[in-house]
Structure 1
Amino acid sequence: MTNKEVLMNSKRYPEEFKIEAVKQVTEKGHSVADVANRLGTTTHSLYAWIKRYGPDSSQYQAQSDESAEIRRLKKELQRVTEERDILKKAAVYFASQSD
Protein backbone atom coordinates (compact mmCIF):
# COMPACT_ATOMS: atom_id res chain seq x y z
CA MET A 1 0.00 0.00 0.00
CA THR A 2 1.40 3.40 -0.92
CA ASN A 3 1.57 6.39 1.41
CA LYS A 4 -1.22 8.03 -0.59
CA GLU A 5 -3.49 5.01 -0.04
CA VAL A 6 -2.72 4.98 3.68
CA LEU A 7 -3.62 8.67 3.93
CA MET A 8 -6.80 8.17 1.90
CA ASN A 9 -7.89 5.28 4.10
CA SER A 10 -7.64 7.43 7.20
CA LYS A 11 -10.09 10.03 5.87
CA ARG A 12 -13.66 10.01 7.13
CA TYR A 13 -16.30 10.98 4.59
CA PRO A 14 -19.86 12.06 5.41
CA GLU A 15 -22.62 9.64 4.45
CA GLU A 16 -24.03 12.11 1.89
CA PHE A 17 -20.63 12.25 0.16
CA LYS A 18 -20.53 8.45 -0.06
CA ILE A 19 -24.07 8.25 -1.44
CA GLU A 20 -23.32 10.88 -4.10
CA ALA A 21 -20.13 9.04 -5.07
CA VAL A 22 -22.11 5.81 -5.46
CA LYS A 23 -24.70 7.61 -7.63
CA GLN A 24 -21.94 8.74 -10.00
CA VAL A 25 -21.13 5.08 -10.62
CA THR A 26 -24.58 3.46 -10.45
CA GLU A 27 -26.75 6.16 -12.03
CA LYS A 28 -24.42 8.22 -14.23
CA GLY A 29 -22.30 5.34 -15.49
CA HIS A 30 -18.85 6.64 -14.52
CA SER A 31 -16.19 4.04 -13.80
CA VAL A 32 -15.26 3.25 -10.21
CA ALA A 33 -11.61 4.11 -10.90
CA ASP A 34 -12.53 7.47 -12.44
CA VAL A 35 -14.85 8.48 -9.60
CA ALA A 36 -12.40 7.33 -6.92
CA ASN A 37 -9.58 9.25 -8.57
CA ARG A 38 -11.63 12.46 -8.96
CA LEU A 39 -12.89 12.34 -5.39
CA GLY A 40 -9.55 11.44 -3.86
CA THR A 41 -10.56 8.09 -2.41
CA THR A 42 -9.61 4.50 -3.13
CA THR A 43 -11.45 2.13 -5.42
CA HIS A 44 -11.65 -0.27 -2.47
CA SER A 45 -13.56 2.33 -0.43
CA LEU A 46 -15.85 3.14 -3.33
CA TYR A 47 -16.69 -0.53 -3.88
CA ALA A 48 -17.50 -0.82 -0.17
CA TRP A 49 -19.76 2.23 -0.43
CA ILE A 50 -21.50 0.73 -3.48
CA LYS A 51 -22.13 -2.45 -1.51
CA ARG A 52 -23.54 -0.40 1.37
CA TYR A 53 -25.45 2.35 -0.48
CA GLY A 54 -25.92 0.95 -4.00
CA PRO A 55 -29.19 -0.15 -5.61
CA ASP A 56 -28.88 -3.68 -4.21
CA SER A 57 -28.42 -2.58 -0.60
CA SER A 58 -31.16 -2.67 2.02
CA GLN A 59 -30.32 0.93 2.95
CA TYR A 60 -31.00 2.03 -0.65
CA GLN A 61 -34.31 0.18 -0.59
CA ALA A 62 -35.28 1.87 2.69
CA GLN A 63 -34.39 5.27 1.22
CA SER A 64 -36.48 4.53 -1.90
CA ASP A 65 -39.41 3.45 0.28
CA GLU A 66 -39.12 6.66 2.30
CA SER A 67 -39.03 8.76 -0.89
CA ALA A 68 -42.16 7.03 -2.18
CA GLU A 69 -43.91 7.63 1.15
CA ILE A 70 -42.93 11.32 1.07
CA ARG A 71 -44.34 11.68 -2.48
CA ARG A 72 -47.57 9.95 -1.40
CA LEU A 73 -47.92 12.18 1.64
CA LYS A 74 -47.28 15.35 -0.40
CA LYS A 75 -50.05 14.37 -2.83
CA GLU A 76 -52.40 13.65 0.05
CA LEU A 77 -51.54 16.98 1.69
CA GLN A 78 -52.27 18.81 -1.56
CA ARG A 79 -55.65 17.06 -1.90
CA VAL A 80 -56.62 17.78 1.72
CA THR A 81 -55.52 21.41 1.40
CA GLU A 82 -57.68 21.83 -1.73
CA GLU A 83 -60.65 20.25 0.05
CA ARG A 84 -60.17 22.60 3.03
CA ASP A 85 -60.05 25.63 0.73
CA ILE A 86 -63.28 24.56 -0.99
CA LEU A 87 -64.99 24.09 2.38
CA LYS A 88 -63.80 27.54 3.54
CA LYS A 89 -65.30 29.12 0.41
CA ALA A 90 -68.53 27.20 0.91
CA ALA A 91 -68.74 28.33 4.55
CA VAL A 92 -68.27 31.97 3.51
CA TYR A 93 -70.93 31.59 0.79
CA PHE A 94 -73.51 30.02 3.11
CA ALA A 95 -72.78 32.53 5.86
CA SER A 96 -73.47 35.38 3.44
CA GLN A 97 -76.73 33.69 2.30
CA SER A 98 -78.10 33.45 5.84
CA ASP A 99 -77.94 37.24 6.39
Structure 2
Amino acid sequence: MSNNKYPQEFKDEAVRQVVDKGFSVPDVAKRLGISDKSLYYWVSKAKTPPAKSAEQEEIRKLKAELKRVTEERNILKEAAVYFASESKKGTRS
Protein backbone atom coordinates (compact mmCIF):
# COMPACT_ATOMS: atom_id res chain seq x y z
CA MET A 1 0.00 0.00 0.00
CA SER A 2 1.38 3.41 -0.98
CA ASN A 3 1.77 6.16 1.61
CA ASN A 4 0.08 8.51 -0.86
CA LYS A 5 -3.22 6.64 -0.77
CA TYR A 6 -4.61 9.09 1.78
CA PRO A 7 -4.20 12.88 1.68
CA GLN A 8 -1.92 14.38 4.32
CA GLU A 9 -4.83 16.31 5.84
CA PHE A 10 -6.70 13.04 6.36
CA LYS A 11 -3.68 11.47 8.08
CA ASP A 12 -3.17 14.56 10.25
CA GLU A 13 -6.80 14.53 11.38
CA ALA A 14 -6.68 10.81 12.19
CA VAL A 15 -3.52 11.33 14.24
CA ARG A 16 -5.06 14.34 15.99
CA GLN A 17 -8.03 12.24 17.07
CA VAL A 18 -5.67 9.76 18.72
CA VAL A 19 -3.04 12.12 20.13
CA ASP A 20 -5.04 15.23 21.03
CA LYS A 21 -8.53 13.90 21.63
CA GLY A 22 -7.52 10.65 23.29
CA PHE A 23 -9.47 8.22 21.13
CA SER A 24 -8.02 4.73 20.73
CA VAL A 25 -6.31 3.74 17.51
CA PRO A 26 -8.71 0.85 16.81
CA ASP A 27 -11.76 3.10 17.30
CA VAL A 28 -10.46 5.86 15.04
CA ALA A 29 -9.25 3.38 12.43
CA LYS A 30 -12.62 1.62 12.34
CA ARG A 31 -14.53 4.92 12.15
CA LEU A 32 -12.35 6.17 9.27
CA GLY A 33 -12.18 2.85 7.45
CA ILE A 34 -8.42 2.45 7.62
CA SER A 35 -6.20 -0.26 9.03
CA ASP A 36 -4.99 -0.10 12.62
CA LYS A 37 -1.46 -0.69 11.34
CA SER A 38 -1.56 2.40 9.12
CA LEU A 39 -2.85 4.59 11.92
CA TYR A 40 -0.29 3.26 14.41
CA TYR A 41 2.40 4.08 11.85
CA TRP A 42 1.08 7.61 11.28
CA VAL A 43 0.89 8.23 15.03
CA SER A 44 4.43 7.00 15.64
CA LYS A 45 5.69 9.06 12.71
CA ALA A 46 3.95 12.15 14.08
CA LYS A 47 5.47 11.63 17.52
CA THR A 48 9.00 11.34 16.12
CA PRO A 49 10.66 14.71 16.61
CA PRO A 50 11.34 16.45 13.30
CA ALA A 51 14.38 18.05 14.89
CA LYS A 52 16.64 15.36 13.48
CA SER A 53 16.91 17.09 10.13
CA ALA A 54 17.49 20.43 11.87
CA GLU A 55 20.09 18.78 14.10
CA GLN A 56 21.76 17.22 11.07
CA GLU A 57 21.89 20.64 9.37
CA GLU A 58 23.42 22.17 12.50
CA ILE A 59 26.01 19.38 12.65
CA ARG A 60 26.85 19.95 8.97
CA LYS A 61 27.31 23.70 9.56
CA LEU A 62 29.44 23.12 12.65
CA LYS A 63 31.67 20.64 10.81
CA ALA A 64 32.17 23.14 7.98
CA GLU A 65 33.02 25.87 10.48
CA LEU A 66 35.43 23.57 12.32
CA LYS A 67 37.18 22.76 9.05
CA ARG A 68 37.50 26.46 8.18
CA VAL A 69 38.81 27.41 11.63
CA THR A 70 41.28 24.50 11.61
CA GLU A 71 42.62 25.64 8.23
CA GLU A 72 42.95 29.21 9.52
CA ARG A 73 44.82 27.96 12.59
CA ASN A 74 47.22 25.93 10.44
CA ILE A 75 47.91 28.95 8.23
CA LEU A 76 48.59 31.10 11.30
CA LYS A 77 50.95 28.45 12.71
CA GLU A 78 52.89 28.39 9.43
CA ALA A 79 53.00 32.19 9.38
CA ALA A 80 54.28 32.29 12.96
CA VAL A 81 57.07 29.84 12.11
CA TYR A 82 57.98 31.84 8.99
CA PHE A 83 58.07 35.20 10.77
CA ALA A 84 59.99 33.74 13.71
CA SER A 85 62.66 32.45 11.33
CA GLU A 86 62.75 35.79 9.48
CA SER A 87 63.09 37.59 12.79
CA LYS A 88 66.06 35.43 13.77
CA LYS A 89 67.71 36.09 10.38
CA GLY A 90 67.27 39.83 10.82
CA THR A 91 68.85 39.95 14.31
CA ARG A 92 71.97 37.99 13.35
CA SER A 93 73.16 40.36 10.62
TM-score of the pair, normalised by structure 1: 0.46
Q: Which has the larger radius of gyration?
A: 2
Q: Which has the higher helix share?
A: 2
Considering Cα pairs closer than 8 Å and 6+ residues apart, tell me whether 1 or 2 has the greater RCO: 1
